[in-house]
Chains A and B, each alone.
Chain A
């Protein structure tokens, strides 16, 4: 890959900002920033399927909470050490991804969205009722991360950056090209001798695994798992964040998550009716700004300075 200052400079500035943030952000700010990072990874992983693969999953909470519960159950119910918990969490997500991928990838568009939604709610139903293992409505509390919030902040952002770099690398490889080809015209990809189903399945599993990584970090940060992370409204979080930021670029979901979490944090300080703002923003985005924030910035400002290239 070529080294391009215009592309790497914003990234380096962002990394520096994240690195220095705990020095002036305060304890709550650091916590919030860790949360934003984790949700950004969640949104980036989701967007592998949505923005690049053209598949809208409304059930990514399944993979997020699958890893979270895998970790929680291994640590608190089975009393295993932390590292096995991490492995179990990822393994659960991987198995969920295989089953869910097998069932949902036979469909496209609305059907795909509905099947992923139903599968995630199936897990939610199990979590709510299987009390002696999942803790039911109360969830599992008392998971120890074994370090301070600040230390965990650095650990989780490191994991987030590495994961995002891997996702970026995958998406800019030949496989990423193939995935976008499937989004644009799956018949042509088929005619060129590739298995569309296989491309979708690989993307699905990747997307689920990185969602699982986010779920594990989230559980360690919170010290608890609750059924809220398995409910479909939690699947809507990356969908909304990605649309706010813009699904057509790699940075879109990250920008969108920042805006989403900060706006929620700010508005809920003044009113309990935060959803109405969110709803109106979504309506405005769908009707008038379908490129999201990154799309607007790119079209209106950056396109004058940067030439060529999709992203």
Chain B
């Protein structure tokens, strides 16, 4: 195996890892706050991609479309939370899962209705490549890695250095005491859901230069996000980052050595980790 190929696959793995991270941190964060594991998170990812396509054909500006689409998806997320999901907070877990699964079915058909079933490609952005060690590397992968790290940094600041983050942490660690001090949980639920859905939409938008948008893309990413979330420990943001990296890199490198197993690699990694640490790498929050 040539060394450049290894580096190339590592880069591909890292950039997909960042995509998994952006989406799954949204999932794990909303879970941490609301205790509902949202199947429709994958649908928000899909909506992010389709909204970006629509906005891009209107404005012609990719960055603007990505931001606009993510904000729109965040709004859709809040509407779902206020309109439906919040009524399930007190229900048993299976009902919560199935409720959000119902949302998945609805969103998938809505997308099929408006955009059809044929996968839609983004027109080329002309981002180009860089030449290193005699091989061309896509520049967008580097952008993606940078964006992923930036998001991690901002999330850290948001959660640890703002009043909003402090209220969120207070509510997670002791709901009763937090609400007794005058924190309004409804506002926090809604804003947390906005942030989580925004991240899902952002992930979908950023996936466009790599792969086409299709009605099935939400199902694919939600499974990966579940794996990442369970592997890192439910609600654990640090865990989501580490396990995204593990899954992404394992997929990228694994494609070189075990081409036949590529689709099974993430599940194998998860199974192996759960045998050793049933509660996830960093445990549940």
Contact = CB atoms under 8 A, between A and B. Distances in A.
B278 A106 contact: yes
Interface in B171-215: none
Given A232-B223, A239-B98, A273-B113, A109 B106 contact: no
A114 B31 CA distance: 14
A9 interface: no
B168 interface: no
A109 B93 contact: yes
Interface in A217-242: 232-233, 236, 239-240
A121 interface: yes
Contact of A125 (B98, B103, B264, B275): B264
Q: Is the interface of B mostly helix, strand, loop or mixed?
A: helix
Nearest to A117: B226
Interface in B216-244: 219, 223, 226-227, 229-230, 234
> Which of B109, B110, B229, B262 neighbours the largest number of chain A CB atoms within 10 Å of its CB?
B109
B88 interface: yes
A45 B267 CA distance: 25
Given A56-B93, A122-B267, A286-B95, A129 B262 contact: yes
A113 B93 CA distance: 10
B271 A110 contact: no
Interface string B47-66: 00000000000000000000
Nearest to B95: A286
B93 A286 contact: no
Interface in A259-311: 272-276, 278-283, 286-287, 290
A279 B263 contact: no
A177 interface: no
Interface in B58-97: 84, 87-88, 91, 93-95, 97
A290 B94 CA distance: 11
Contact of A114 (B91, B94, B226, B262): B226
A233 to B, nearest CB: 7
Given A56-B94, A129-B263, A287-B84, A118 B102 contact: no
Contacts, number: 117
A50 interface: yes
A107 interface: yes
Given A275-B109, A283-B102, A110 B97 contact: yes
Interface in A126-147: 126, 128-130
A118 B227 contact: yes
Nearest to B117: A272
Interface in B234-285: 234, 260-265, 267-268, 270-271, 274-275, 278
B140 interface: no
Given A56-B97, A110-B234, A286-B99, A103 B105 contact: no
A107 B95 CA distance: 18
Contacts of A236: 101
Contacts of A240: 98
Given A114-B226, A115-B230, A286-B102, A129 B95 contact: no
A290 to B, nearest CB: 7
A111 interface: yes
A232 B218 CA distance: 13
Contact of B109 (A103, A109, A279): A279
Chain B, interface size: which category?
35 or more
Contacts of A283: 84, 99, 102-103, 106
Interface in B98-157: 98-99, 101-106, 108-110, 112-113
A152 B109 CA distance: 35
A124 B263 CA distance: 8
B37 interface: yes
Contacts of A122: 264, 267-268, 271
Contacts of B219: 232-233
Nearest to B263: A125
A121 B104 contact: no
A214 interface: no
A243 interface: yes
Contacts of B262: 125, 129
B218 to A, nearest CB: 12
A111 B234 contact: yes
A118 B273 CA distance: 12
Contact of A118 (B94, B99, B230, B275): B230
A119 interface: yes
A118 B102 CA distance: 20
Contacts of B88: 286-287
Contact of B223 (A107, A121, A129, A281): A121
Interface of A: 50, 56, 58, 103, 106-107, 109-111, 113-115, 117-119, 121-122, 124-126, 128-130, 232-233, 236, 239-240, 243, 272-276, 278-283, 286-287, 290
15 contacts: A103-B275, A113-B97, A117-B223, A118-B223, A125-B261, A125-B265, A126-B264, A232-B219, A232-B223, A236-B101, A239-B98, A274-B109, A279-B102, A282-B105, A286-B99
Considering the complex of A and B, which 9 residue pairs feature the smallest CB-CB distances, nearest first? A282-B102, A279-B105, A125-B264, A122-B267, A125-B263, A279-B106, A276-B109, A56-B94, A275-B105
